[in-house]
Chains A and B, each alone.
Chain A
């Protein structure tokens, strides 16, 4: 199970457009920063296949309008799907 957060730089005027393109990738969500050109992005996978998340991050870098893709936080625990999706509070 992998969860990553990234900052994706774009020219500010292209923030919304680039954000839409990023969200076409599986497991990718944009949480804000469109107007600053600093998109706050998460990338998740289900952990069943070997490291597709790094492929996704590389693919994001090649999206038209993306200037820089930078990783901030990575979680890669090995708990089961049942465990990770259990309610904790």
Chain B
């Protein structure tokens, strides 16, 4: 059979997809893929987001010409996503920065000038001069670095050394502060340690998936693809999607719910109340592992003390835990009835009840997913805590297929924030 190079490459592409999907294609479609395509394949990590996919990069004549998801990678199992498509592209993009640029007017540095290419020597001289002037005028508090979750851990380490040991300043703010502070607050308050439990294998083990505002279809496409596969092949599997607007995940939703912004707190407390009213809590797990605390409310928003919102708050800046018992906790959430949750959220009662039942059913493994909608909420710490409450009441936590799972977006947010500052410092 005569074959062009294009047909040959295409057959390889089809064979790779069919193999990952477990779809059998006619032999005639695939036989063209046999043979050597002259491409050398090497393993690499996709650096775009926090999912952690492995990719294979194909090199020909010293240049990256092809990429595919690594079929042996436990995270992405051969899948790649649209962002991965750009991995080879960015290596050769015409707008890549290849030399230092400095804003200049008439050959001298000027903040309002236009970018000009300069030597590394000149770039470092100007930077050193400006850092020194700021340090001399105002001391270490006048300098700082904003880090990135796209930094490698090594870059984060170098930045940490530079700002702390070199410039004697503490002003190093990582991506994690902006992105995940409330998730960390939730973890610390609930568990005393900051790291998500659960793992990606839950995507195949769960019976029920609940998306608390996460738009996994667009933001975590690899994980969404695994979730989709489970939903379409596992009998009885359900997907509940909570969001303030309709997005791509609704295509797969068995229980789609649009709620009024901020009322997710009421929905979570309603679910806890439902579980208690129907005695669907796991007494044994609670006795062994759960303490009940009530937090101070009306705490303001963490703004400067002179801000009107802080001045209006009765307990601004406070957040003390007060130990309570199960009965007192039950009483606290008892006001969140189905009627109240429905009135506040605008979600139809049957949808809310279906969600609560899924969590309450002792025979269903439930995994909850959320991302920045919950973590960057004005009540992010509380909202994280309220979802933990549901999982702790039912004991559906740290079990295969069951658990609360805060999804992240950056490859090294925690890496640069914690490993560089605490472990290596």
Q: Which residues of A contact B (CB under 8 A)?
A: 1, 3-7, 9, 11-12, 31-33, 36-38, 40-42, 44, 51, 53-54, 57-58, 61, 65-79, 83-89
Asked if residues A36 and B3 are in contact (CB atoms below 8 Å), the reply is no
Most buried by A among B21, B66, B81: B21
5 contacts between A and B (CB under 8 A): A72-B79, A73-B67, A74-B88, A77-B9, A89-B1
- The residue of chain B having its C-beta at the shortest distance from the C-beta of A34 within the complex is B23
Is B60 interfacial (CB-CB < 8 Å)?
yes
CB contacts (< 8 Å) of A5 on chain B: these are: 13-14, 16-17
A9 & B229 in contact (Cβ 8 Å cutoff): yes
Q: Which of A58, A75, A89 contacts B3 (CB 8 A)?
A: A89
State how many angstroms separate the Cβ of B296 from the closest Cβ of chain A: 43
Q: Once the chains bind, are B21 and A7 in contact (CB under 8 Å)?
A: yes
Chain A residues with Cβ below 8 Å from B217 are: 61, 67-68
B-side contacts of A44, CB under 8 Å: 6, 10
Knowing A40-B14, A73-B17, the reply to whether A54 touches B85 (Cβ < 8 A) is yes
Write the nearest CB–CB distance from A64 to chain B, whole angstroms.
Answer: 9
Question: Which residues of B207-242 are within 8 A (CB) of A?
Answer: 217-218, 221-222, 224-225, 228-229, 232
B60 touches A77 (CB 8 A): yes
In the complex, chain B residues whose CB is within 8 Å of the CB of A32: 18, 23-26, 29
Partner pick for A3 among B13, B29, B84, CB 8 A cutoff: B13
- Minimum distance in angstroms from A26 CB to a CB of chain B: 16
B248–A61 CB distance below 8 A: yes
Q: Which of A6, A67, A73 contacts B66 (CB 8 A)?
A: A73
Complex interface: chain A residues within 8 A of B80 (CB): 70-74
A36-B21 contact, Cβ under 8 Å, with A3-B13, A74-B68, A76-B66: yes
Question: Would A88 and B13 be within 8 Å (CB), given that A7-B79, A68-B221, A74-B85 are in contact?
Answer: no
In the complex, how many angstroms separate the beta carbon of A36 from the nearest chain B beta carbon?
6
- Whether A70 and B221, one on each chain, are in contact in the complex, defined by CB atoms closer than 8 angstroms, is yes
Is the pair A87, B20 in contact by a Cβ cutoff of 8 Å? no
Query: In the complex the two chains form, is B88's CB within 8 Å of A33's CB?
Result: no
Instruction: Judge if B82 is at the interface, Cβ distance under 8 Å.
Output: yes
**Is the Cβ of A72 less than 8 Å from the Cβ of B65?**
no
Taking a contact as CB atoms closer than 8 A, the residue among B17, B85, B218 that contacts A7 in the complex is B17
Closest Cβ of chain A: how far from B134's Cβ, in Å?
42
- B22-36 with Cβ < 8 A to chain A: 22-26, 29, 35
B69 on interface, CB distance cutoff 8 Å: yes
Q: Which residue of B lies closest to A57 (CB)?
A: B82
CA distance A78 to B67 in the complex (A): 14
In chain B, residues 61-89, which have Cβ atoms closer than 8 Å to a Cβ of chain A? 63, 65-69, 78-82, 84-86, 88-89
* Given known contacts A9-B228, A12-B232, A37-B232, A75 and B82 CB-to-CB distance under 8 angstroms: no
Most interface-central of A70, A71, A89 (chain B CB within 10 A):
A70
A38 touches B21 (CB 8 A): yes
Chain A, Cβ-Cβ closest to B19: A72
Please report the C-alpha to C-alpha distance between residue A4 and residue B67 in the assembled complex, in whole angstroms.
9
Q: Which of A67, A73, A78 contacts B16 (CB 8 A)?
A: A73
Closest chain B residue to A71, Cβ basis? B80
- Contact at A73–B79, with CB atoms within 8 Å? no
Distance (whole angstroms) from the CB of A41 to the closest CB of chain B: 8
Query: Quick one: which of A41, A42, A54, A87 contacts B2, CB cutoff 8 A?
Result: A87
User: A88 and B66: CB pair below 8 A?
Assistant: no
